[in-house]
A and B are shown apart, each in its own frame.
Chain A
Amino acid sequence: MPVLAQQAGRDDLSPEPGVRFAPLHIYLDSGDRSLAAYQFELKATAGQIEIVGVEGGKHKAFSEPPYYDPAALAKDRIIIAAFNTGRDLPTGRTRIATVHLLIKGDVEPQYELDLTVAGDADGEKIPAEITFEKGEEK
C-alpha cells in the first residue's frame, strides 16, 4: 500500500502542460583582450520564466559557478558575475555562463542582456560584446 501511494505521488509531480525547461547560453567577446572579470544582468521582457539554475562557462577560468544572488532563483531577473586572477584567461568569444530557465505558457520569452562590466587581468575595464543563444528545450 505505501509503495502504491508513493507511486501515485510521483505521478502528481509530472510537469504541468505548457511548462518546459531550456538553457540560455551567455557569450562574451572581448576581442584580443584577456577576459579576467565580467558582470551582467539578464531579465525577461516577455513571456513567463523562472530562473532555476546557473552554471559556469566553457573556459577553465570561468568553469566554476559564478556569483549570483540566490534570491534571483524562481524569478525572471538575475545579476551574474565572476572573475579569475590567474594567467590562463580566455580571449575572443567564449561562453561565460549558462542560465537554466523554466518557461511557462506558450508565449516565446524575450530576454534583455546588459553587460555591466568586463575587466582584464589588470582590473581595467575593457570593451566587450555580450550575446546569448537559446539551448535545446526539454
Chain B
Amino acid sequence: MALASSHNGAKLMNERIRHFDEEPSLEVSSRLTEDIQALFEPELSVPAETDRAVLDRASRHFAGRKFVKTRRIRWVALWKGAAAAAVVIFAFSLDLHDKPQRAVYDSAIAGTDAVDFDRNGQVNILDAFKLARQIELAGGNRANLDINGDGLVNRDDVDKIAFAAVSLTPAKQGPGKGVL
C-alpha cells in the first residue's frame, strides 16, 4: 500500500511540471485593451497652455521662497555678529585686574616695608604679633594696619607678615631678616 501510493503521487507531479513548462500566450485580446483604456483614460484632457501656466506660476512661487530664505539667513547672520560683538564689548568692560586678592600664602609684599611692622629693619614673627595686638586694641578701623591692601584690616594682614617671616626665599624676607 505504501509503495502504490507513492507511485501515483509521482505521476501527478510529472503532469503538473509539464503543464508549467508550456509557453503561455502573451497576446491580449482587443476587447480587454478597450476595457482597460476606458477605465484609466481621463475624462477631460488638459490643454497645453494650462500646463505651461501652472509650471510658470510654480516656478515663480518657489523662486520667491528662495529669496525670502536667503534674506532670513542674512538677518540671522547679522544678529549673530551683533551678539558676538556685544559679548566682546562686555568682556572688555569687566575690569578683571581689580578682582580681590586671595588670602593665601603670597610673600610678594614681604620685601617691602609693609611687613616690617615695627620698623626695626627686621621681619619676624614679632611684627605679626604686634600687628595682631594693634588690631585687637584698635579694631579694624585703622587704615595703616591694612598690610595686604585689600581694604580690610583682619587676620589676613597678620598672616601676610607671618608668612613673610617664615619664607625660605631670601629675596622675600627683606633686609636683615633672620639675624637678630
Q: Is the CB of B129 within 8 A of A116?
A: no
Q: Is the CB of B178 within 8 A of A123?
A: no
Q: Is the CB of A117 within 8 A of B180?
A: yes
Cα A70 to Cα B126 in complex, Å, equals 20
- The contact size tier of chain A is 20 to 34
A69-B167, A85-B132 known; 13 other A-B pairs, CB under 8 Å? A39-B124, A39-B125, A67-B159, A68-B166, A70-B105, A78-B168, A79-B165, A81-B128, A83-B126, A83-B128, A116-B124, A117-B125, A123-B133
B residues in contact with A116, CB < 8 Å: 124-125, 178, 180
Q: Is the CB of A72 within 8 A of B126?
A: no
The 4 closest A-B pairs by CB, nearest first: A81-B125, A83-B129, A39-B125, A79-B166
Cα A75 to Cα B129 in complex, Å, equals 27
Q: Is the CB of A125 within 8 A of B126?
A: yes
A residues in contact with B163, CB < 8 Å: 67, 69
A and B contact pairs by CB, cutoff 8 A, 23 listed? A37-B125, A39-B166, A67-B166, A68-B166, A69-B166, A69-B168, A71-B168, A79-B167, A81-B162, A81-B165, A81-B166, A83-B125, A83-B126, A83-B129, A85-B133, A85-B136, A116-B125, A119-B129, A123-B118, A123-B126, A123-B129, A123-B130, A125-B126
Cα A7 to Cα B105 in complex, Å, equals 38
Main secondary structure of the interface of B (DSSP, over half): helix
Most buried by A among B136, B162, B166: B166
Q: Is the CB of A41 within 8 A of B105?
A: no
Please tell me which one of the listed residues A39, A70, A77, A85 contacts residue B165 in the complex, with CB atoms under 8 A apart. Answer: A39
> Shortest CB–CB separation between residue B84 and chain A, in angstroms?
43
Q: Is the CB of A82 within 8 A of B126?
A: no
> Shortest CB–CB separation between residue B166 and chain A, in angstroms?
4
Q: Is the CB of B125 within 8 A of A82?
A: yes
Main secondary structure of the interface of A (DSSP, over half): strand
Q: Is the CB of B125 within 8 A of A38?
A: yes
Q: Can you list, as one digit per residue, whether each of B22-57 has a CB less than 8 Å from chain A (1) or not (0)?
A: 000000000000000000000000000000000000
Q: Can you list, as one digit per residue, whether each of B114-150 has a CB less than 8 Å from chain A (1) or not (0)?
A: 0000100000111011101100100000000000000
B residues in contact with A39, CB < 8 Å: 124-126, 165-166
Q: Is the CB of B129 within 8 A of A125?
A: no
Q: Is the CB of B168 within 8 A of A77?
A: yes
Please tell me which one of the listed residues A72, A85, A117 contacts residue B124 in the complex, with CB atoms under 8 A apart. Answer: A117
Flag whether A80 is at the interface (Cβ < 8 A). yes
B residues in contact with A37, CB < 8 Å: 125-126, 128-129
> Shortest CB–CB separation between residue A115 and chain B, in angstroms?
9
A residues in contact with B124, CB < 8 Å: 39, 81, 116-117
Cα A117 to Cα B128 in complex, Å, equals 13
A residues in contact with B167, CB < 8 Å: 69, 79
B residues in contact with A75, CB < 8 Å: 168
B residues in contact with A78, CB < 8 Å: 168
Nearest to B128 among chain A residues (CB) is A83
